[in-house]
Amino acid sequence: MTDPKRLNMQELVSFLADNAGNWISNQRDLHRHYAEALPDTTTAALRGFFRDETLDRARIRRVPVIENPPFYREFEESGQSIPLDFSVWAAITFGDVILVSDDQVPWPPSHSVVFHEMVHLVQYDELGVFEFARSYVTPFVQNRFNYMSIPLESDAFDLQGRFEASAGEPFSAEAEVRAHIGKPGLPYSGRRGNRQLAK
C-alpha cells in the first residue's frame, strides 16, 4: 500500500502515471468488447476533421457513470483528496474506446463531446497508452493539480472550440494533433525526447 502523502513530486508523478497507464489499458480492454462503432450521424459530422479510418476505428460505449479508478482508494485511506473526480465527467477515452456517462449527458452525445474525445484518441495513437498517461499526469502534478495546465487537455479544448465555431467547415484536427505532438520541447513530446520525465 502506498501512502501518496509520503511521496515527493517525482514519486507521485510515477505512482500516478504507472497506475493510470494500467487502469487505462485495463479499461480499454474491458469496454472494447461491449463498445460500438460511432453513430452514423456522428461520423458524418466529424468527417474531414478526422481521417475516415480513424473514425472507423473509434468505439463508443454508453455507461451509467464514469467510475473512478481502484487506486484512488490509497488517496482516500490517507485522507487526501482524489486527483480528478471522473464520476462528474461527461466522457472519457481509453485508447480507442470512448465512454459516455448517462449520468452527465443525454444519449446520443453531442458532436462536440465526441470531437473532444476523438482528439484524445489521436493523442493516444501517437503516444501509446503509457506515454499518454505520463504526459497527462506530469504537468497536472507539477501545476498543483490544475487540470487546464495539461497540454493534452488544453489542446483538445482549443480544437473543440474551433470545431464549434467551424459551422461544419472541416479543418484537419487530426493532422494538427499529430504535427503538434511531434514538436520537440513540448511537455508531452515524450516519444521523441523529454526523456528526463520518464523514470
Please give the residue ranges that form the binding site for Zn ion (CB under 5 A): 153, 156
**How is the beta sheet containing 36-37 ordered, strand by strand?**
36-37, 59-63, 97-101, 91-94
Minimum CB separation from Zn ion for residue 116, in Å?
5
Minimum CB separation from Zn ion for residue 75, in Å?
21
Closer to Zn ion by Cβ: residue 4 or 49: 49
Closer to Zn ion by Cβ: residue 4 or 101: 101
Minimum CB separation from Zn ion for residue 80, in Å?
23
Minimum CB separation from Zn ion for residue 59, in Å?
17
Closer to Zn ion by Cβ: residue 153 or 174: 153
What nine digits make up the cell of 168?
461544419
Strands (DSSP E) found in the chain: 36-37, 59-63, 91-94, 97-101
Please spell the DSSP secondary structure of 144-185, one letter per residue.
TT-GGG-HHHHHHHHHHHHHHHTTT----HHHHHHHHHTSTT
Closer to Zn ion by Cβ: residue 66 or 156: 156
Nearest residue to Zn ion, scored by beta-carbon proximity:
156
Q: Are 190 and 138 spatial neighbours (Cβ–Cβ below 8 Å)?
A: no
